[in-house]
C-alpha cells in the first residue's frame, strides 16, 4: 500500500501517522521528496482500513499495490485448483486443470419426464454434469418460482438414473440442509455479495459454483470467493455470466477478457454461462467456442427439450440436438487448448 | 402486451397461438396487416410468460406495454404512500407526502459513546431518524463486520435517550427476530434481489427501506418492492444510492433522474443516500440539495463525530458541524418544494 | 507520478530507469523499501509517457498523482473563469461566477416564424442566450439534417430582433468561417474527442460550449478542454448532458455529481443540458432545479412552440409556457445559491 | 413500426393521426382493442419521425419493429459482403467470406527502420495487411501526435517493400487528399459519429474500416455505416474494439457477442481489435483466438519491435515473436471455422 501525503505536510505530522500505522503491524518505508512525503507499507496490509486513511486530513491518495485477497490469490497458491468428484459410469470428473467441464440442463426442473429426458440427452452428448433449478430467483413474484424440494428430488432421481453429478442453486441459508446430496452448490449472480450466505458456505465442504454479479468487478468476485475460503472451504469454481451493459442486442455483455485476467490473478477454475449472458439460444454456440478459446475451464449451458414451452428462460435454451452438435465442435476446440472434455 | 408475429405467418397458425393465450385469461385483439399479424393482449398480463412467447417460432417481438408491477404501481394506487410512526419528543414523523425525512447517523455503531453522541448531534440539527449499522455488508471478510447484536442494543439505547426512531440494516432472515424493536428495516443494495429475504419481509409489518442495487433498473427496483408488497407489507421506502459507472471521480453515479421517474410510476416514497453514492464527504451537501430539488422525499446521510477514525466509510462521513449547516440549507430548499423537515 | 517497481528489482536496474527519467526533465525521489523500490517523480510530468513506463519490464504499477491537465486545472488558476459578452437590451451577460446563465431555444431551427417566436418567448421568460441547431448531428442519414447556412442566417435574424446572443453547434472545421457572427460555438457530445476540431477551435477566439461525450470521464472532458486551451483559447464552458447507462427510463443518465467534481478540479464554468440528458420534457423542470442546487453555472434547455410537430427531439422539448414557469422557480433556487439569473 | 395510443383515445382522434401518417407514404393497420387502439405502420418507415410521434399527446408508445438501416441490412442484401484488393506477392487479399484477414503493425509509425522492420516481421508471420498510425488521436494535447504526412510516406515505403496493403487512420476531412494511395482508411472509435466525416467518406471509393465507438450500440454502429453507404460507398469493414465498462482490469470491455449479432443483422464483414480492447499485450493472444471462435472475419493487432520504447500504447503491443506464435495458433482455429488466413 502506498500513501501519498498532501503537499506541505511536515515530517513531524507524517511521523505521527507512521507510528499509528506501525501499531497496526506493518512496516513503513518513509520517502521524503521535494514535493511531498510518500509512505510505502510493507507486510500484510489486508487489515489496514484504507477508508479511514483516505479520510485522514494528511493524506492525498491511498493506492493498494497488493491485492486484498489472499486465499484466492495465485501469488500465494501458484498451482491451479482442480476439483474432482465421482461422475457417470464410475469415472471421475473434474473442473480445472486439463479438463474442460460441461454442465448442461434446463433452467428449471419442470417434471420427472423433462429432467430425466434432458439428463439422458446431455449425458449422451458428453456433458459431465447436470444442471437444473429447483429454487429459482425470478425478477417477478408472479413468475414461476421453481418446484422447490420436489424439484430437488427429481434432480436426485435424474442423477441416480444417469450418474451425472448435479449442480443446482441455493437461495438462502435455511435451504442448506436440503442440499446434502447435491454435488455442486450454485450461488447466483444476485447473491454474489450475500455475505451471510457466503460465510455459511465457508463452513460447508461442498464445491461452490460462484457466479459473478451483474456489476461486480474482478476484485469483488475474488473477495466473494475469499469470504467462502476464509471459512475453510476452498472448493470454488468462478463463473462469468455476463455483466450489465448499455445495449440490448443481447441480455447482458459477456466479458470474456475476465477469463485470462482471473487465471492470472487466481488459481481457481473459471467457467462461462453463455445462456444467461446472451439470453439468446442462437448465440450460445458461438459464445461457447469463444469461451474455450479464451481459456475457460468449462461451460454451464441451458438445454431444454421443448424451449417454446419452458416455464422459464425458453428463449435462451438450446435443444438437445443443437447441444449435441455444439459438443462435437467443442471437442475440437478443447484439443487445440490441450484440454479434454 | 403486444405480440408482433413474423412475416408470412398464416392466420390459422396465429389463431392457434391466440387460443393458447386466451386460455391464460387474457383477451386478444387480432390485427392482420399487409405485412404481419399483430396481437394486442388485454387484461392482466402480469402472469403471461413472455420468455416462452419470445422462444415461440411464430413470434418476432414481444412488447410489454403494461408495467409488470401492480401493488407498487401508481396506476392502481394514485395517492402517495405516507409512512408514519412515533418520533422524538412525542411527535409523529413521516416519510412521504409533504414531509422531507432526514435520516442521519454513522455508517456503523462503534461504541455507546459514539452512537449516543452522534444521535444527540443529529437530533439537535433536526434529523428525524437515526441510522447506524450493526450488521455490516463488507466487501472484504477481513474488514470490520459490525458489532452485531451488541450494536443493535446500543442503537436502541440511543433511541431511548433521544427518542429518534432507528433505521438499521438486516442482512439475513435469521436476524429478523433481533429486529423486533427496530423502527425501519433497511435492505442493502447487494440484497435488493435476495428474493428469499424479500418474501420474508413481506410477512413482516415493519417499514422497509429498500435500496436500489448497483446495476438495477427502475423496473427491477419496483419488482423488488412488489415482492415485499405481494406478501402483504406495503410499508416501503425506495432509496437511490448510486449506480455503477465507468468513471472514478466518485464511488458511484448518483442517478437523480430516477426520482421523478419513480414518483410517476409508483406511489412509494423515494429517498436518496448521497454518502454511499459519492463516497466523498465534500460532495454530500451539494448532492443533498440536488436530491431535494429533484423531488426526493428524504435523505439518509452518514454523520460521524470523528471520520478520520471511523471503523468504516470515514471518507464519506460528514461531521456533526457540517451536518448542522447542511440542515439549515435544506430547510430553505424544502420550503421551495412545499415540504417541511 | 509514482512508479512502483516489481519485487526483486535490483538497485542498479532501478538506477538506470531513474537516469532515463531524469533525462526527461523530472526529479526522482528514490525509496527503497524492504519489499520493493518506489520512485516518486517531481516536476512537470505531463509529458512523461506513462504507457511506455507501464510496458517497461521493471515496472509493476504507475500512478499519476498530478492531473494531466494544466490550463484547465484549478491548482494553477484558482479563480473561477467568467465569460462575459454583450446581451439583450444593451446589458452584459456572463457565464460563470455569480450569474446563472440560461440558454434556451429549439433543438433545430425550422423556419423564421418558429425561431423568432421561440426567441421572443424565452427572452420574455428571462433566458440570456438563444440556442438553435442549423447543422444537426443525427444518428440516421435519413433524418432531417438541419437547415444549414439558412438556419444560421435565421438565428442571426432572431438575435437581431431580440438581442439575445446565440449558441449553435459546429460540426466540422470547414464550417468555421460561417460561424463568424455566432456568439458561442457548441461542440457536441459526439465530437468531444474530435481532436482535429478541438485544435482548430484553439486558434479561434470565440467562446466554446464543450459537451461531455456519452462515455467520457471527468479527466477526458478536461483534456478535451485542454486541447482547445493549449491552442490559446481559454473561453470554455463545460456541459454535462447525460452519460450512457444501462436503464431506459430516460434517454441517458444525468450525472450531476460531475458538477461539484469539476468545480473542484477546474476553474471553468459548468452548465447542464437536462433536455438531452433525459429526452423527456416532463423531467426537465426537476432536473433543472437539481442542476442549480448541485452548483451548476447555467442550463441549456430545449424549448419549442409546438413540440408535437418539431422536426427533431420533440419529446424532450418543453413549451414556452412550461419554460416561463420553470424560470420562476429557478430564480428562487438561484437566490439560495447566491446567484442571479 | 407499432404505435400504441393512450387509453381513452377516441376513434376520431386516432383517425386524424392515421391520415397524417398516410400522407407520409406508409399504410396503417388500425386495430381497435377493448383497452386501446394500436396502429401498425406498413411500408418504408425509415423516414417517419418517431421523436415527433412520441411527443404526440395521443401516443403512449412507439415501437420500431423494422431496423432503421437499409443498405447495411442483411434482409435486403442476404449475401456476405467481401472486400478484395491486391496483396503481397501478386496475390489477392480479401476481408469477409471464407478468409480470415490479419492486419498487424505498430500503433504509430515512428521511423523508417521501425515500420519497415515490423512490416517485414508481420508479413513473414502471415499478416495480410500492415497497420500503422500517422495521424494519432491522443487524449492529451501534450502526447506524441503522430508523424503526420511523413508517417504516411513511410507507410507507403513499407508497402512498396513488402507488398502489404496498408490500413491507417484518417482524422479529418481535409486529410482525405493525402490518403489517395492508402488501401484501407480507418475511422477511429472517437469519430464513429463524426457525421460530416462519414458523409465525405460516402463519396470516396476506398474501403473503410469503421471502429465502434466506446459507448455505441449495435444499431448506432450500423447507422454510422449507413451514413457512408447512403453516399454510395459500400466497402465497409466493421470493427469491435472494446466498450467502456465499470471495471479496470483491462482498458475496455471486449464485447465479442457483438460479432454473431452483427453477422445476423448485417452482411458487412466484422473484425476485432484485441489490442485496444484490452490495453494489455498478455491478453491479446487469448482474445484473438476467442474472436475467431466467435465468428470474426479478421483481426487488427498491434505489433511493435520494442514495446518498452514505443511512443504510444507500448503496454498493449505484442512483439514480432509473440505475433508469429499467435499466427500459428490462429491457423488452427481458422481451420475449425472453415476459414483460411
Domain with residue A309: its CATH number is 3.20.20.70
What's the whole-number mean pLDDT along residues D97-126? 97
User: Which residues in chain B have their CB less than 8 angstroms from residue C328's CB?
Assistant: none
pLDDT at residue A173 is higher than 90 = yes
Is the Cα dihedral D260, D265, D269, D274 positive or negative? negative
3-state secondary structure of D151: helix
pLDDT at position D34 is 63
Hey, of D6, D9, D30, D35, which one would you mutate to test binding to chain B, going by the most B CBs within 10 A of its CB?
D35
d(CA D26, CA D43) in angstroms, rounded, equals 5
Asked if B250 reaches chain C (Cβ–Cβ under 8 Å), the answer is: yes
Residue B32 pLDDT greater than 80, yes or no: no
- pLDDT tens for residues C158-187? 999 999 999 999 999 999 999 999 999 999
C247 touches chain B (CB under 8 A): yes
Please give the pLDDT value at position C125.
98
Domain co-membership, B149 together with B55: no
d(CA B225, CA B221): 6
Q: Are D160 and D11 members of one domain?
A: no
Q: Does residue A69 lie within any of the structural domains?
A: no
Does one domain contain both D174 and D48?
Answer: no
Question: Cβ distance D133 to D107 under 8 Å?
Answer: yes
Q: Which residue has cell 500503422?
A: D132
pLDDT of residue C55: 86
For residues C7 and C38, the answer to whether their CB atoms sit within 8 Å is no
Using the Cβ of B335 and the Cβ atoms of chain C, whether some distance falls under 8 Å is answered with: no
CB-CB neighbors (< 8 A) of D139 in chain C: 68, 193, 220, 223
Lowest-pLDDT choice from C12-21, C150-159, C259-268: C12-21
Q: Is residue B69 part of a domain?
A: no
Which residues does chain A have within 8 Å of residue C30's beta carbon, measured at their own beta carbons? 31
B/e letters for C57-69, b = 16+ CB within 10 Å, e = fewer, are ebbbbbbebbbbb
**Predicted local confidence at residue B299, as pLDDT:** 98
A278 touches chain D (CB under 8 A): yes
Residue B18 Cα to chain centre, angstroms:
38
pLDDT, residue C95, reads 98
Q: Are D341 and D330 in contact (CB under 8 A)?
A: yes
Q: pLDDT tens digit string along D25-43?
A: 888 878 776 667 888 887 7
State the chains in contact with C (3 or more Cβ–Cβ pairs under 8 Å).
Answer: A, B, D
Q: Tell me: do A311 and A259 sit in the same domain.
A: yes
Chain D residue numbers with beta carbons less than 8 Å from the beta carbon of C243 are 215
**Mean pLDDT score of chain B:** 94
- Which chain A residues are Cβ-neighbours of C60 within 8 angstroms? 65
Residue finishing a domain among B33, B63, B93? B63
- Of B338, B328, B335, B327, the C-alpha closest to B103 is B327
* Whole-angstrom distance, CA of residue D291 vs CA of residue B244: 27
Do β-strands D2-5 and D37-42 pair in parallel, antiparallel, or remain unpaired?
antiparallel
Calculate how close chain A gets to B185, using CA atoms only, in Å: 17
Whether residue A326 is predicted with pLDDT greater than 90 in this model: the reply is: yes
Which of B13, B41, B63 is where one domain is finished? B63
pLDDT digits (tens, 9 = 90+) for D306-316: 988 888 888 99
- The pLDDT, as a whole number, for residue B144 is 87
Tell me which DSSP letter residue A56 carries.
Answer: S
- The whole-number average pLDDT for the span D287-307 is 97
Domain residues for the domain of D35 are 2-63
Mutate to test the interface with C, among D60, D110, D141 (most CBs of C within 10 A): D141
- D2: cell is 407499432
Backbone angles phi, psi at B313, to 5 degrees: 55, 35
Task: Please give the share of chain B, as a percent, with pLDDT higher than 70.
Answer: 99
User: Does position D95 have pLDDT exceeding 70, yes or no?
Assistant: yes
Q: Residue D121: which of D161, D169, D90 has the closest Cα? A: D161
**Which pLDDT score is estimated for A106?**
96
The per-type count for chain A, helices as H runs and strands as E runs, is 10, 14
Q: Are residues C180 and C237 in the same domain?
A: yes
Give domain status of residue D341, yes or no: no
Question: Does the model's pTM come out above 0.90?
Answer: yes
**Residue C259: count of CB within 10 angstroms of its CB:** 26
The answer to whether residue C28 neighbours chain B at the CB level (below 8 Å) is no
The burial of A4, by beta-carbon neighbours within 10 Å (0-12 exposed, 13-18 middle, 19 or more buried), is given as: buried
List phi, psi (to 5°) of A15: -65, -30
Same structural domain, D96 and D37: no
Best of D6, D61, D140 to mutate (most C CBs within 10 Å, chain C): D140
Q: Is D333 on the interface with C (CB under 8 A)?
A: no
- Give the count of domains, chain B: 2
Mean pLDDT computed over B250-254: 97
Question: What pLDDT sits at residue C40?
Answer: 82
Among chain A residues, CA nearest to D290: A290
Task: Provide the sign of the torsion angle of the four alpha carbons A16, A19, A24, A30, taken in this order.
Answer: positive
The percent of residues above 90 in pLDDT, for chain B, comes to 76
Dihedrals φ, ψ of A168, to 5°?
Answer: -150, 155
| Nearest beta carbon to residue A171 from set B57, B195, B317 | B195
Looking at residue B34, its pLDDT comes to 63
B175 touches chain C (CB under 8 A): no
CB C2 within 8 A of CB C40: yes
What does the angle CA C111 – CA C113 – CA C119 come to, to the nearest 5 degrees?
A: 100
Contact A215 B54 (CB under 8 A): no
- By the 10 Å C-beta count (0-12 exposed, 13-18 middle, 19+ buried), A40 is classed as buried
Flag whether A47 is in a domain: yes
- Inter-chain CB proximity A217 and D249 less than 8 Å: yes
Which residues are within 8 A (CB) of C203 and not within 5 positions of it... i.e. 6 or more apart? C231, C232, C233
Residue D230 sits at the chain C interface (C-beta within 8 Å): yes
Contact list in A for residue C62 (CB cut-off 8 A) is none
CB of A308 within 8 Å of any CB in chain B? yes
Contact: B260, C286; criterion CB under 8 Å: yes
CA pair distance D269, D99, nearest whole angstrom: 10
> Which residue among A139, A214, A309 sits closest to B52, beta carbon to beta carbon?
A309
Average pLDDT over residues A84-108: 96
Mean pLDDT of D165-181: 96
Chain A's closest residue to D248, CA to CA, is: A217
* DSSP-assigned letter for residue D312: S
Contact B29 D32 (CB under 8 A): yes
pLDDT at C46 over 80: no
Binary contact (D63, B245; C-beta < 8 A): no
Q: How far apart are the first and last CA of chain B?
A: 42
Give, as one character, the DSSP assignment of residue C281.
G
Average pLDDT, rounded, for chain A: 94
CA distance A66 to chain B (A): 14
Cell of B268: 412509494
Closest Cα in chain D to B37: D40
Q: Which three cell numbers stand for residue C34?
A: 524492504
User: Are residue C263 and residue C135 in the same domain, yes or no?
Assistant: yes
| Contact B44/D at CB under 8 A | no
Query: Which residues in chain C are closer than 8 Å to A248, comparing Cβ atoms?
Result: 248
Among residues A40, A34, A39, A41, which one has the least CA distance to residue A7? A34
Closest CA to D287 of D320, D234, D240: D240
In this structure, what C-alpha cell is assigned to residue C10?
Answer: 535490483
Q: What is the ipTM of this complex?
A: 0.94
Cβ-contact B315, A59 below 8 angstroms:
no
CA-nearest residue of chain D to C219?
D139
| Per-residue pLDDT at A34 exceeds 80 | no
User: Which residue, C42, C63, C84, sits at the end of a domain?
Assistant: C63
Is the Cβ of D27 closer than 8 Å to some Cβ of chain B? yes
Residues 6+ apart with CB under 8 A from B54: A314, A315, B62
- Residue C150 domain-assigned (yes or no): yes
Average pLDDT in the B224-230 region? 97
pLDDT cut 90: percent of chain C above it: 76
Of A46, A57, A142, the CB nearest to B308: A57
Distances (CA, A) of B267 to A139, B236, B238, B260: 20, 10, 10, 11
Estimate the crossing angle of helix B258-265 against helix B218-230, to 10 degrees. Answer: 40
Check whether residue D32 and residue D163 sit in a common domain: no
CB atoms within 10 A of CB C126: 16
pLDDT value, residue C176: 95
Identify the band that residue D130 occupies on the pLDDT scale cut at 50, 70 and 90.
very high
Of B97, B88, B87, nearest to B339 (Cα)? B97
Cβ distance of D260 and A291 shorter than 8 Å: no
- Degrees, nearest 5: CA angle C208-C213-C215: 160
The torsion region of residue B130 among left (phi > 0), alpha (psi -120 to 50) and beta comes to beta
Examine the domain organization and report whether C227 and C309 are in the same domain.
yes
Cell representation of residue A308: 417454446
Is D149 in the same domain as D43?
no
Bridge-based pairing of strands B59-63 and B92-95 is unpaired
The set of cell numbers assigned to B136 is 455490516
pLDDT confidence of residue A141: 92
* Cα B281 from Cα A146, distance rounded (Å): 44
Comparing B21-25, C46-50, D154-158, the range with the smallest average pLDDT is C46-50
Residue D307 lies in a domain: yes
Instruction: Give the separation between CA B287 and CA B271, rounded to whole angstroms.
Output: 12
Cross-chain Cβ contact B195/A49 below 8 Å:
no
| CB distance C284 to C315 below 8 Å | no
Distance CA D51, CA C316 (A): 9
Share of chain D above pLDDT 70, in %: 99
User: Rounded CA gap, D133 and B30, in Å?
Assistant: 57
Give every CB contact of residue C23 below 8 A, 6+ residues apart in sequence: none
Q: Residue C313: its chain D contacts at CB < 8 A?
A: 51
C-alpha C330/C-alpha C292 separation (Å) is: 8
Residue C164 lies in a domain: yes
Q: Can you tell me the distance from the alpha carbon of B187 to that of B166, in angstroms, rounded to the nearest whole number? A: 14
D contact chains, 3+ CB pairs < 8 A: A, B, C
C252 touches C241 (CB < 8 A): yes
CB-based contacts of A317, cutoff 8 Å, min separation 6: A106, A107, A275, A281, A302, A303, A304, A307, A310, B55
Nearest to D2 among B38, B245, B248 (CB): B38
Q: Is C196–D172 a contact, with Cβ atoms under 8 angstroms apart? A: yes
Interface contact flag, D308 C52, Cβ < 8 Å = yes
Taking an 8 Å cut-off on Cβ atoms, the answer to whether C257 and B247 are in contact is no
Looking at A91-100, A304-313, B231-240, which range is the least confident one?
Answer: A304-313
Q: Are residues D318 and D283 part of one domain?
A: yes
Same domain, C234 and C321: yes
Place B36 in a pLDDT band, splitting at 50, 70 and 90: confident
Minimum distance, in Å, between the CA of residue B289 and any CA atom of chain C = 5
Q: Name the B residues in 69-108 with CB < 8 Å from any A CB.
A: none
Can you tell me whether residue B273 is helix, strand or coil? coil
Residue C155, classified by CB atoms within 10 Å of its CB into exposed (0-12), middle (13-18) or buried (19+), is: buried
pLDDT-based confidence at C45, cuts 50/70/90?
Answer: confident
Say yes or no: B65 contacts chain D, CB-CB below 8 A: yes
Report the share of chain C in percent with pLDDT over 70. 99
Residue C286, pLDDT > 80, answer yes
C279 close contact with B: CB closer than 8 A: no
Q: Are A214 and A240 in contact (CB under 8 A)?
A: no
Record: contact D256-A256, CB cut-off 8 A: yes
- Of D278, D287, D333, which is closest to A336 when you measure between CB atoms? D333
On whether residue D259 sits in a domain, the answer given is yes
User: CA–CA separation, C288 vs C280, rounded Å?
Assistant: 12
Q: Which residues contact D278 (CB under 8 A, 6 or more apart)?
A: A257, D242, D250, D251, D252, D254, D284, D287, D316
Query: CATH number, domain at D40?
Result: 3.30.70.1140
Q: Is the pLDDT of residue A292 over 80?
A: yes
Amino acid at each position: 500500500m502506498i500513501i501519498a501525503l498532501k503537499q506541505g505536510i511536515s515530517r513531524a505530522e507524517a511521523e505521527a501517522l507512521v507510528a499509528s500505522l506501525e501499531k497496526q503491524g506493518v512496516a513503513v518505508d518513509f520517502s521524503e521528496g521535494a514535493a511531498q512525503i510518500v509512505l510505502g507499507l510493507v507486510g500484510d496490509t489486508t487489515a489496514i482500513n484504507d477508508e479511514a486513511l483516505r479520510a485522514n486530513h494528511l493524506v492525498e491518495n491511498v493506492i493498494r499495490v497488493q491485492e486484498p485477497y489472499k486465499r484466492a490469490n495465485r501469488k500465494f497458491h501458484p498451482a491451479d485448483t482442480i476439483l474432482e468428484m465421482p461422475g457417470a459410469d464410475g469415472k471421475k470428473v473434474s473442473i480445472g486443470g486439463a479438463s474442460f467441464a460441461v454442465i448442461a440442463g434446463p433452467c428449471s426442473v419442470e417434471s420427472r419426464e423433462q429432467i430425466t429426458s434432458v439428463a439422458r440427452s446431455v449425458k449422451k452428448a458428453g456433458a459431465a454434469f447436470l444442471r437444473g433449478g429447483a429454487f429459482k430467483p425470478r425478477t417477478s413474484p408472479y413468475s414461476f418460482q421453481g418446484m422447490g424440494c420436489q424439484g430437488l428430488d427429481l434432480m436426485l432421481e435424474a442423477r441416480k438414473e444417469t450418474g451425472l453429478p448435479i449442480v443446482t442453486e441455493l437461495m438462502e441459508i435455511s435451504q442448506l440442509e436440503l442440499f446434502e446430496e447435491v454435488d455442486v452448490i450454485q450461488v447466483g449472480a444476485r447473491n454474489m455479495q450475500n455475505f451471510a450466505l457466503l460465510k455459511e458456505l465457508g463452513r460447508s465442504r461442498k464445491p461452490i459454483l460462484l457466479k459473478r454479479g451483474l456489476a461486480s468487478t474482478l476484485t469483488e468476485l475474488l473477495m466473494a470467493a475469499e469470504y467462502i475460503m476464509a471459512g475453510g472451504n476452498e472448493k470454488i469454481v468462478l463463473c462469468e455470466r455476463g455483466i450489465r451493459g448499455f445495449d440490448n442486442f443481447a441480455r447482458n455483455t459477456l466479458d470474456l477478457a475476465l477469463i485470462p485476467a482471473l487465471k492470472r490473478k487466481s488459481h481457481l477454475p473459471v467457467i462461462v454461462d453463455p445462456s444467461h449472458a446472451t439470453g439468446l439460444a442462437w448465440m450460445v454456440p458461438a459464445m461457447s467456442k469463444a469461451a474455450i478459446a479464451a481459456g475457460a475451464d468449462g461451460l454451464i449451458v441451458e438445454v431444454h427439450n421443448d424451449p417454446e414451452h419452458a416455464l422459464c428462460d425458453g428463449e435462451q435454451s438450446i435443444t438437445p440436438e443443437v447441444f449435441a452438435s455444439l459438443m462435437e465442435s467443442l471437442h475440437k476446440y478443447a484439443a487445440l487448448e490441450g484440454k479434454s472434455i
